[in-house]
Structure 1
Amino acid sequence: MIPTTTTPVPTPTPAPAPAPAPAPAPAPTTTPIPAWPSTVSSLRQILSIDTGAKLDCHGQTRTNARCRNGVSESNSSLVASLLDQIVVHGSLSAAHSALSRVAHLVMCKRYHQDQGPLRLAVWEAILKPVTEVVVKREDQESTLTSSKETVGASKDTLVVTPVVEVKQESLSKDDTPTKRTTSRLRSHSSPSTPTKSSPKHIFSKETPCKDPVIKHKFKTYGLQRSTVETNRKIKEILLRPLRGEEKKRDGEIYLYTFPETYHDAQPYLKIGYSKDVDARMAQWKAQCGYESQVLGHFKSEHYAKIEKLVQAHLHNQRKTEVGCPTCRVWHKEWFDVDFMTALTIVGMWTDWMRKLPYDDDGGNLLEKWRLRVEGLDMTDPDCWTLLERDVFDDDVDESEISEGDESFSWTNYDQFELSGGDTAELSDTDESELSDTGDEYDSKGLADDGDEE
């Protein structure tokens, strides 16, 4: 009998388990909240926004699964900064622009930008009831604190309370001034009630005016321009070689507003440039007698050139202050534009300048960029977006430009005083770094700001 052998049957190797799909995006609840969120973490929870340094798209696919695409690090960082601002705003009307921007930033650029408005509508349903309570309370307080001289004031007349240092004289040399809060005063139409104190304690030496309420009056900067005229001016600035201040690198473009309008949905904005924003704000405080509220600043190449581009882009929104009440200078860099629009335009030109479009020798625009500028449709108000995004060819990947970009900073400055020595030290600083665009510190204050109108 021949023995039989049994061939062992190999056991099949089990297939690896598929990677788990990302958790679906939590649907934001539409249940109204009792109070405005006081922290970013609570705001993220209310709006169902992911935590972490880098976000994933919050959009939903056709199967109701969450999109797997990532959001760039720069946009994730911008979302975090905007959420900080939304918390500080304290109401939907003031925070609406930032909230709308966040609704689009949390969606991937490729597929789900169209879901941004729907997400914004859900957030509005959550936050609007809170706003109604806040607005009602503000209206009541406004009635109690309004004064006759603010009745009927137009937007071109802003009421600002100057810097008030009540406790300054009682501090010893060893005392350190405490940080001021970041909360904004409610409205420029109703000045805050002065602190009860003796007159000698109310005003600092930097504020020589006798009236504790300062009115900032504005007028239109120049004639309105059509889309074609605006675009041709921008084109002229772009094609012109770098010259003078425009050749300098490593500066910053800043945006700030008055302390009394920091809470407004659309305050007047001052847009300028400097190599040292802290020193610049200190000098504005010494000159104009109020604490500038810096909303943000961009690190930038050829910052003076960028400022001219921004000024041309926002020409129709530009305002001139008709003699600062304190220093009497006619400041010409104010803009009647919402913050998110200004932020987008400044960011667009800053991003474009980061692509190094000018050569290092004569500061001339590189040939490939000259051809692109020459080929743009001057009747299209959005033609510059095409230039910034570099959609003409694929030699630069957009993700490489935006990913990891940390050039923009949101800032809250601590309150500080300038002694006589400090003021003298600032006056010795390089004028090119602190004079920005020519808001000169002479008695007339009528010098041109360098924008060739």
Structure 2
Amino acid sequence: MDLLVQARWVQSTSELRSCLDPKLDNCTQCRGHSKNKPTCGNPISRASRSQIAHVLQDIIKSGSILSAAKHLQQLASLVLCKRWHQTQVAEKVAEWTTCLRSFLEVKPSPTKKKADTEKPSSATTSCLSKQPERRAIRILKIPQPITKTEEASGSAKPIKEEHDEKDVRLDSLAAYKKPIPHSGAETKPRIHYFEPYQRPKTAGRINNDIVEKLTAPFNVRERKAADKGDGYIYGYKLPRDHHERGGGSCRMIKIGYTNNPQRRMREWGVQCSYEPQVNFTIRSAYYVKIEEIIHLQLHNERRKERCSVCYRQHHEFFEIDTSRAEAVVRMWTRWAQLQPFDDDGRLSKYWSLKLADLDMEDPDCWERFLCEKVKQGGKSFLIKRRVEALRFAC
């Protein structure tokens, strides 16, 4: 591999955008190419758009093409739609690397005299601008671009909007293959850096948040899910070779919702390059709203992390025992079977009156709200709330 001389580096985001792609200034559409047009045109998610400016700053701070390689890969992943064109990440990185080399007038080592008089090709002339030369010189090795992979089929109808928790067509996802370690070699553990999702809250504040959610009408996403029918609340843990910072095994459990558990686990496997270890999958009515209520109750155990593979911020992990997580999920999903909401998503009159009996400072008040035991004839019976609700209605 040839040694290259780099005499300067980009100094501002405007300079970097003019070199890589001027449309990075306000990038709202996928920068991948399809068979019939130069750019895909599919919208990229709001989460991806919000990270572009930070990655551009990281590239400027890196100081060299070699150090910027990983940031260029991250940037390419952000500006390419997740549905069709993630296969073009390596191609986009190679294209940008070429533009940077031409912009910086990176040349082979002076031992080759011909290179001193070479002019940049016409394809990259637009990336050039006059910059004051600096005396500091670095000898760099430019990483070889990865071989271009085959573009995903463009025959399917493009999506209208992209979301972080969307449903993806199965035929648009590559099959997840569990990595096979080399014989005689130990698999290097993958380290995760979890941190609290937000500041801790008191029991009273958490309970008030739950009441507000229970009494609020459906939002657009909850309405759409409720109209389609039941879904699922799932919980999974990371593989055993995934560790937390400090060396301990990862005890986090992810709690989310889906209308197709098998597909959702496959999506996580492809997106984050691991095989989810599913602990429970529980059917639920109003599953989008119920999932958010569960997250509110477990607020103080909630954690977040920026994924080292997909570069997204995952914020649905909980530092909690699997048994407790499943118990909380089952408690709320069984209650949801009693159809406690009206057509607009508000609590029925019966359940609204029950809220008045709650001790809002009691962290266990929801167990008594959803089900209670009474003694009759020396035996304990679980009173079904559906029966009480029917009597109240009469």
TM-score range, shorter chain: 0.3 to 0.5
Please give the TM-score of this superposition, normalised by the length of structure 2: 0.46
Please give the TM-score of this superposition, normalised by the length of structure 1: 0.40
Greater strand percent: which structure?
A: 2
